[in-house]
């Protein structure tokens, strides 16, 4: 295709964009007003705005007229794979937003055209920091499931750097129209589609070999209304683009004297996968889950249409998009969430370990002493984030990092935790609690949570939600025994004493795993292996985690499940575990809104209808062709 043709197509696209641009929303900070769209959400695709010859490639879907899709998605090298000219045309129609994937660590490999030792050095230094992956169009933070096909390395001749599970192309989305074009092109050309925001997902749900990726990170506006009013809600609210990071929202909340429900990690996409999967927060024990706070959403559906989703508009999707996981029903471009008045937060941290006076039995009795108060602490609105890990043969460490008391003073916290600390003392466990008062969530968060480490391939995580009953009477002993078994076997416990607080002021009619509503704890369990371990060792460790340690956890929590956003990619019966009794309803909605399977995410709703070729037991990757099971 001639360059001039491309240029004129770009101009046509820009003109079309301007034509559909209605008046931008006002920046007024006081309401009352129902949700308005961001200016870039008014840049939309319409049938009329498409050149006639482009309709087949980029036009909207029609479930009744579209031809049946082949068994497998098109893959690079297939005769059906779009030609370079078609990709160029797509790029032009997008206004130049198409990116061809270059793996982040490509500069480390001599055989790559990107080879550049200095650039490699920078990638190696930053590889374990989330930000590197957040700001890359295709990278994700768990390379194990990408296939480890381009890891950073000191040795430029160590091997080959290939795309592996990374998407082939990405669309750097800056308006609704580009998202619509990507969804339409993927559907019409039978391409695998993935949605990548920050790449935090534990199962690498934001990567896929041979895929076209929609990169939403650029949709990062934040708007605040002190007095928002719509439907039944009146009060402070934020409208957030789906690429906004938690830390940016926390800062905006601080500046405006309010509290928002966000997670503990700085760079998770609060309006992307966080809310889509439910979203647990240090304030969840007080006001509920992230997904409970949503007032309205803007969404590009699998047929390419751009719609508002709320209690009255697509109410079934409003239910499904708040809890059942990202990358399944459409691409969310923004959400509106309620905010709460500023609350003070008091934290407490301490560490203890086995020592000559604290045997392993005493150590675990100390853990049991904490568990006994789980229900009481969460009922008081508090949250606890802690670590239990082996530090040598028969030696263990407990770190409270921190106990987080919402809306409480130091005196109130001291009164709350004294019985627990007394129990520890009676066991002979000496701790020196550091209790600190903060004026807001933001201040406490700054003082409590350090940067996360990601990008490693030396561990694998699984998780479980533990119901309140597990921490009472004889069940507490059984629970403690199951937890101890995993830790003694070498497991690393990242524990959350948390509940999804009932909150009549929030909207808790959503698809958040019902197991959350009964839980007093969420435990993540890691299995680690030595650096340079063979695949056989990784497989063995993963198998032990899933079928031994976790099997005991499942046995003591019958009917419960886990949090799909921080879960085991190998979880048996994931439908039951991640979605509980909502699964049949979620599956029916998947068939209703995405009958062609435009969206696929590993362990997502409806994912059992598909498989990825080229798999190794216990180390699933997205490095293969996506095909439908027949
Ligand atoms: C270090 C770390 C700390 C974490 N801490 C917490 C925590 O405190 N609380 C908590 O609840 N979770 C936590 N998580 C889990 C986190 O919430 C999930 O991984 C979440 O899915 C990340 O969403 P994302 O958009 O940032 O990431 P991505 O990996 O880019 O996306 C996650 C999933 O959502 C989909 N998705 C993203 N954006 C969109 C969109 N706009 N429309 C449709 N689908 C979309 C993707 O396709 C993918 O399937 C943590 C994860 C890590 C790695
Ligand atoms: C898309 O177009 C832009 C602007 O012309 C260009 O910079 C970019 O390299 C193109 N992308 C691809 C994949 O060709
Ligand atoms: C790199 O790729 C080439 C060509 O595909 C292959 O011959 C070679 O064995 C590969 N090297 C490694 C270390 O995988
Ligand atoms: C829901 O969306 C519809 C359609 O855009 C809008 O008219 C209505 O005001 C919205 N209601 C809420 C509560 O956001
Ligand atoms: C163990 O207990 C003894 C006697 O109470 C005490 O002197 C000693 O300091 C303790 N050791 C540790 C490591 O706490
Ligand atoms: C915080 O505590 C104050 C005073 O006890 C109370 O009025 C307020 O509702 C609480 N805030 C939240 C979000 O629970
Ligand atoms: C207590 O914790 C705060 C917040 O993390 C920290 O700034 C302070 O240095 C700690 N104090 C002690 C004595 O460790
Ligand atoms: C729990 O176990 C401890 C010792 O491991 C025992 O003393 C206690 O009686 C048990 N409690 C119940 C309720 O079974």
Domains of the chain plus CATH, in order, are 3-15+343-581 (3.40.462.20), 35-42+219-340 (3.30.465.10), 52-61+73-215 (no CATH)
The pLDDT of residue 538: 98
The pLDDT of residue 451: 84
Beta strand pairing status for 294-300 and 331-338? Answer: antiparallel
> Which single residue is written with the structure tokens 């500069």?
107
Beta strand pairing status for 211-215 and 192-196? Answer: parallel
Q: Which long-range contacts (CB under 8 A, 24 or more apart) does 359-364 make?
A: 360/394, 360/395, 360/396, 360/488, 362/427, 362/428, 362/429, 363/396, 363/398, 363/429, 364/396, 364/480, 364/484
CA of 599, nearest ligand number: 1
Ligand 4 touching residue 72 (CB < 6 A) = no
| Omega of the bond leading into 224 within 30 degrees of 0 (cis) | no
Q: Whose CA is nearest to atom 4 of ligand 5?
A: 357
Q: Which residues line ligand 2 (CB under 6 A)?
A: 91, 96, 98, 100
Which phi and psi (to 5°) does residue 493 adopt? -100, 120
* pTM, rounded to two decimals: 0.94
| Omega of the bond leading into 402 within 30 degrees of 0 (cis) | yes
Q: Whose CA is nearest to atom 12 of ligand 8?
A: 474
Question: What is the rounded distance in angstroms from the CA atom of residue 52 to the CA atom of residue 629?
Answer: 35
For the chain, which ranges sit under pLDDT 50? Answer: 1-28, 32
From 351, 355, 357, mutation site for ligand 5 pocket: most ligand atoms within 8 A of C-beta? 357
Q: Whose CA is nearest to atom 3 of ligand 3?
A: 160
Ligand 4 atom index nearest CA of 233: 13
237-270 pLDDT, tens digit per residue, is: 999 999 999 999 999 999 999 999 999 999 999 9
The pLDDT of residue 64: 63
Residue 337 Cα, ligand 4 centroid: separation in angstroms?
Answer: 14
Q: Whose CA is nearest to atom 11 of ligand 2?
A: 98
The pLDDT of residue 16: 35
Q: Whose CA is nearest to atom 6 of ligand 1?
A: 263
Q: How many helices (H) and strands (E) does the chain have?
A: 21, 20
């Amino acid at each position: 295709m001639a360059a001039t043709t491309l240029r004129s197509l770009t101009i046509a696209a820009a003109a079309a964009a301007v034509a559909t641009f209605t008046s931008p929303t006002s920046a007024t900070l006081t309401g009352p007003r129902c949700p308005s769209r961001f200016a870039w959400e008014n840049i939309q695709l319409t049938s009329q705005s498409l050149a006639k010859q482009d309709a087949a490639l980029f036009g909207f879907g029609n479930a009744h007229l579209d031809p049946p899709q082949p068994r497998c998605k098109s893959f690079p090298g297939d005769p059906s794979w779009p030609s370079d000219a078609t990709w160029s045309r797509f790029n032009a129609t997008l206004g130049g937003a198409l990116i061809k994937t270059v793996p982040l660590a490509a500069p480390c490999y001599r055989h790559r055209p990107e080879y550049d030792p200095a650039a490699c050095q920078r990638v190696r230094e930053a590889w374990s920091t989330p930000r590197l992956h957040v700001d890359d169009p295709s990278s994700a933070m768990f390379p194990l499931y990408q296939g480890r096909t381009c890891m950073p390395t000191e040795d430029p001749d160590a091997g080959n750097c290939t795309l592996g599970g990374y998407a082939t192309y990405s669309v750097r989305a800056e308006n609704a129209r580009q998202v619509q074009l990507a969804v339409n092109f993927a559907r019409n050309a039978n391409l695998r589609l993935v949605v990548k925001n920050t790449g935090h997902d534990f199962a690498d749900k934001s990567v896929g070999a041979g895929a076209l990726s929609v990169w939403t990170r650029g949709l990062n506006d934040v708007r605040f209304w002190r007095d928002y009013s719509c439907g039944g809600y009146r009060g402070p609210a934020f409208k957030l683009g789906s690429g906004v990071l938690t830390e940016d929202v926390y800062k905006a909340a601080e500046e405006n004297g309010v509290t928002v429900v966000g997670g503990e990690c700085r760079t998770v996409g609060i309006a992307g996968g966080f809310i889509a999967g439910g979203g647990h927060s240090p304030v969840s024990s007080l006001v509920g889950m992230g997904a409970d706070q949503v007032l309205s959403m803007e969404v590009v559906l699998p047929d390419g249409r751009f719609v508002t989703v709320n209690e009255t508009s697509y109410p079934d999707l409003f239910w499904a998009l708040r809890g059942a996981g990202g990358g399944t029903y459409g691409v969310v471009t923004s959400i509106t969430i309620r905010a709460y008045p500023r609350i003070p937060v008091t934290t407490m941290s301490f560490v203890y370990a086995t020592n000559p006076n604290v045997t392993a039995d005493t150590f675990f009795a100390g853990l049991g002493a904490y568990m006994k108060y789980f229900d009481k602490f969460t009922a008081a609105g508090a949250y606890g984030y802690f670590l239990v890990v082996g530090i040598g043969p028969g030696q263990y460490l407990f770190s409270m990092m921190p106990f987080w008391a919402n809306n409480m003073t130091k005196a109130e916290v001291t009164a709350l935790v004294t019985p627990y600390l007394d129990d520890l003392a009676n066991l002979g466990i000496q701790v020196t609690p550091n209790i600190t008062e903060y004026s807001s969530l933001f201040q406490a968060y700054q003082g409590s949570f350090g940067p996360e480490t990601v990008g490693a391939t030396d561990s694998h995580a699984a998780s479980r939600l533990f119901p309140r009953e597990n921490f009472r009477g004889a069940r507490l002993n059984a629970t403690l025994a199951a937890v101890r078994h995993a830790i003694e076997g070498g497991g690393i416990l990242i524990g959350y004493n948390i509940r999804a607080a009932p909150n009549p002021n929030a909207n808790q009619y959503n698809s958040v795993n019902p197991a959350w509503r009964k839980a007093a704890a969420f435990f993540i369990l890691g299995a680690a292996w030595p650096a340079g371990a063979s695949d056989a060792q990784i497989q063995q460790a993963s198998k032990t985690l899933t079928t031994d340690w976790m099997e005991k956890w499942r046995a003591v929590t019958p009917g419960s499940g886990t949090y799909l956003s921080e879960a085991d990619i190998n979880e048996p019966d994931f439908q039951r575990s991640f979605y509980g009794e909502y699964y049949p309803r979620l599956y029916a909605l998947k068939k209703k809104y995405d009958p062609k399977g435009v969206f696929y995410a590993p362990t997502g709703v409806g994912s059992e209808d598909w498989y990825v070729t080229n798999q190794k037991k216990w180390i699933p990757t997205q490095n293969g062709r996506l095909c439908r099971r027949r």
